[in-house]
């Protein structure tokens, strides 16, 4: 029997290392439970939907079971100034 995929749409908010602001809003993204299976699959899904730039990877991510929010911590090789975190909040 095949697994069941759960698909959720998230709003995206960027938090910068140096100067965090609430204005860093990105595009809405749709992620499946398969995209949340590992940091590699989440990074690939976020790059595909242009939340992360090409070459960026997700170093770590955390999911809050209560709120459904996901916080991803990206890294781009050779680029020291990048987003500290990408916050994904489920849309109602």
Specify if 1 maps to a domain: no
Specify if 16 maps to a domain: yes
pTM, rounded to two decimals: 0.82
Instruction: Find out whether 20 and 26 touch, Cβ atoms under 8 Å.
Output: no
Specify if 55 maps to a domain: yes
Specify if 2 maps to a domain: no
Cα–Cα distance measured from residue 15 to residue 63, given in angstroms and rounded to the nearest whole number: 16
Residues spanned by the domain of 62: 7-90
Taking only the tens place, the pLDDT of each residue in 5-49 is 688 999 998 887 666 565 668 889 999 999 999 999 999 999 999
Specify if 11 maps to a domain: yes
Instruction: Find out whether 53 and 77 touch, Cβ atoms under 8 Å.
Output: no
Taking only the tens place, the pLDDT of each residue in 47-71 is 999 998 888 899 999 999 899 999 9
| Structural domain total, the chain | 1
Please, which pLDDT band fits residue 1 given cuts at 50, 70 and 90? very low
Specify if 74 maps to a domain: yes
- DSSP one-letter code for 56: -
């Amino acid at each position: 029997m095949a697994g069941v995929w759960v698909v959720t749409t998230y709003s995206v908010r960027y938090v910068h290392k140096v100067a965090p602001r609430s204005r860093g809003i990105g595009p809405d993204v749709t992620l499946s439970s398969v995209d949340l299976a590992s940091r590699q699959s989440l990074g690939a899904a976020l790059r595909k939907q242009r939340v992360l730039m090409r070459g960026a990877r997700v170093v770590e991510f955390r999911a809050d079971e209560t709120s459904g929010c996901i916080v991803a911590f990206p890294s781009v090789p050779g680029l020291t100034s990048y987003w500290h975190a990408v916050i994904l909040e489920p849309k109602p």
